[in-house]
Chains A and B, each alone.
Chain A
C-alpha cells in the first residue's frame, strides 16, 4: 500500500496532478448547478416584491403567496 502511494518516488507528482484534476472537474461540474439556483432565487425574489427578501438574519419569510424559497 505505502509502496503504491509512493509511486517509486513520483508519488508527490502523480497524486497532486490527480487531486488537481479532480478538483477542477468537481468545480466545473458544480458551478452550473449553483448558477442555476442563484438565477432561480433571483427571479423568485423579483416576482415577489412585497415579500421580505432573505437577508441573512436567519429568519425565513412567512410562507405565503409567492414567497422566496
Chain B
C-alpha cells in the first residue's frame, strides 16, 4: 500500500472518532473563522466601494458579491451532506451522520440568503422579486430539502432509524444539484446564465471578478469553520455519556 493511501486510510479512520476530531479541530475552526471572516470583509468592501459600476445593471449588480457565494456554498454544502449520507449508509460511520446534522442548518441558512438576496436583486433588475423559473424554483426545492433533513430527524423517534432515513433523503436529494446548475442552460429563465465557467474565459471583467473571487474563497473558509464548530457541538450533544466528554466538561 502506498504512503498516500496509508495516510488517507488512517486519517479516514481517525475522522470516524468523535473524540479525535473534537480534540484536533479547535485550532482549525478558529483559523477558518478568522481568515474566512477577514476575506469576506475585504471582498465585500472591494465589491461595494471599489469595483466599477455595471454598464447595464448600474450598482444593483453589486449584490452579486453576496448572492453568488451564498448560492454556490448552499449547493456545495448539500453535495458534502450527500457524500456524508453515502458514507454513513455504507460504513455506518457515526461522524458522517453528525456531519449531516451539523451541515443542514448551515446549508438551509445559505439557501435562504441566496433566495432573499436574489429576490432583492430581482426588483430593480427584472421588475419583480420572484419568478417561477427553473433556477429559482429548483433553489426553493433545495431549501425544502434542507428543511426536510432537519424535520425528518425530529420526526423519527429512534435516533439510529432517523439517521438512516436522513442519509437516504440526503442522497436522493442530490439529483436537484445538477438541475440547479444547468437550469439556466436547459430552460429559458429570467435568471442570467453563469458568467464564469470552467475552461472558458469569464464573461465578466477582471476588475469585477476579483472581489467575487475573494468573497467566494472567504465564504468557503468561513463556512467550513462553521460546519466544524457545529460538528463539535453535535459531538458533545451525542456523546454526553462518554467519559472523555464528562472529563472535558468538568475541566472547564
Q: B79 in the interface, Cβ–Cβ < 8 Å?
A: no
A7 within 8 A of B: yes
Q: How far is the CA of A9 from the CA of B102 in the complex (A)?
A: 40
Within 8 A of A (CB), among B210-235: 222-223, 225-226, 229-230, 232-234
CB-based contact B252/A40 at 8 Å = yes
Q: How far is the CB of B35 from chain A (nearest CB, A)?
A: 13
Which of B48, B229, B250 is A18 in contact with, Cβ under 8 Å?
A: B48
Q: Are the CB atoms of B237 and A35 closer together than 8 Å? A: yes
- In the complex, 15 of the A-B residue pairs with CB atoms within 8 angstroms, ordered by the A residue number, are A10-B124, A13-B60, A13-B123, A17-B66, A20-B113, A20-B117, A28-B223, A29-B226, A32-B102, A33-B229, A33-B233, A36-B233, A44-B250, A44-B252, A66-B250
Please name 20 further chain A to chain B contacts, defined as beta carbons within 8 Å, in addition to the given A28-B223, A32-B232, A33-B229, sorted by A numbering.
A8-B59, A10-B59, A10-B60, A10-B62, A11-B59, A13-B120, A13-B123, A14-B59, A17-B116, A17-B117, A24-B112, A29-B37, A29-B229, A32-B229, A32-B230, A35-B237, A36-B232, A39-B233, A43-B245, A69-B252
10 closest Cβ pairs, A-B complex:
A32-B229, A7-B59, A35-B233, A21-B66, A36-B233, A32-B230, A24-B113, A10-B60, A17-B63, A17-B117
